[in-house]
Amino acid sequence: HDENMDGTTRERLSHIQGIPLLERVVKYWPRVEKFQASEEDLLIATYPKAGTTWTQEVVDSILNEGDVEKCKRAPTQVRMPFLEMTAPDGSSSGITKLEVMDPPRVIKTHLPIQLVPRSFWDAGCKVIYMARNPKDTVVSYYHFDRMHLYQPDICLVLCKMGILGWGSWYDHVKGYWKERHNKKILYILYEDMKEDPVREVTRIAQFLKRQLSKSTIEHIVQMTAFSAMRENPMANYSTIPDTIFDRTASEFMRKGEVGDWKNHFSAGEDAAFEEHYRKIMSDCPIPIRFTI
């Protein structure tokens, strides 16, 4: 493994068009930028910790009509590669995995909309974007960072200020929101999916033009519930080695709830955050809820 002078593995952030990204994402950027998407490919785009893995599992379950065994054919990162990511040792990457897969491919990205490779838009690909309220997103990011030994060392204060890999949460959620009617973007919210997964899974299936029975939808909701995914080795990232994910620090499938931010924001911090949030979101009223 690449190690820093002090024996730790944490990476720095570098920039592409002003967006902070892991150094290794920047290093391999040219091959991401020129990736050729095909019309049948589906892009799942999120800000980190917004419920990406959950959306991926729901999509794969829909495409496989609720067939549990098919969905367990391989771990998440193999079934639905992470477009811009390269392994810390450079041994594998989203692009190298995608190159040997035939379309239709389901592809994960955390890129803000302006950095999504052009070919996705030229080909007219469908995109599913999931957003999650920023307080829970930041808390989840913070805990993920504690376990991910290659992420830059961040603290909750920096998280709250938005100095994070993949840039500003605000710009990210707004970027896709503003384009949702111009492009084939289905915009979904983590809190809505928690509140009524049958309704949201049905919306996703309709967007993907899959006719599924009510019982199949209900089965998919059960398969993709937090408790089920947490126990599923093909959906819980247990295949990522301990040298990358330090599970003594935190878990990938941590809580999966709406409102855990209440355990991390003091009343003062919350008031300051709310004021800032209202100001910045005033030009873009995405119906994001902080509690359900």
- Shortest Å, Cβ 199 to ligand A3P: 15
From the candidates 1, 15, 110, 276, give the one annotated as an active-site residue. Answer: 110
Q: By CB under 6 A, is residue 134 in contact with ligand A3P?
A: no
Q: By CB under 6 A, is residue 76 in contact with ligand A3P?
A: no
Q: By CB under 6 A, is residue 143 in contact with ligand A3P?
A: yes
Nearest CB to ligand A3P, comparing residues 54 and 177: 54
Task: Identify which range of 20-28, 166-174, 223-231, 238-246 contacts ligand A3P by CB under 6 A.
Answer: 223-231
Task: Identify which range of 7-15, 45-53, 93-101, 150-158 contacts ligand A3P by CB under 6 A.
Answer: 45-53
* Strand, coil or helix: 210: coil
* Strand, coil or helix: 143: helix
Tell me the pairing of strands 19-22 and 13-16: antiparallel
Q: CB of 197 within 8 A of CB of 146?
A: no
Q: By CB under 6 A, is residue 218 in contact with ligand A3P?
A: no
Out of 28, 226, 273, 277, the only residue in the binding site for ligand A3P (CB under 6 A) is 226
**Is position 181 annotated as part of the catalytic site?**
no
- Shortest Å, Cβ 176 to ligand A3P: 15
Out of 52, 61, 86, 151, the only residue in the binding site for ligand A3P (CB under 6 A) is 52
**How many CB atoms sit inside 10 A of residue 39's CB?**
13
Task: Identify which range of 15-23, 219-227, 264-272, 274-282 contacts ligand A3P by CB under 6 A.
Answer: 219-227
DSSP 45-101: EE-TTSSHHHHHHHHHHHHTTT-HHHHTSS-HHHHS-BTT-B-TTSS-BHHHHHHTS
Q: By CB under 6 A, is residue 50 in contact with ligand A3P?
A: yes
- Cα dihedral: 168, 170, 176, 182 (round 10): -130
Q: By CB under 6 A, is residue 260 in contact with ligand A3P?
A: yes
Q: In this structure, what token pair is assigned to residue 144?
A: 């993920």
**How many CB atoms sit inside 10 A of residue 148's CB?**
20
Residue with the CB atom nearest ligand A3P in the bound state: 256
d(CA 180, CA 193): 19
Q: By CB under 6 A, is residue 264 in contact with ligand A3P?
A: no
d(CA 137, CA 49): 6
Residues that bind ligand A3P (CB under 6 A): 46, 48-54, 136, 140, 143, 224-226, 229, 253-256, 260
Catalytically active residues, by annotation: 110
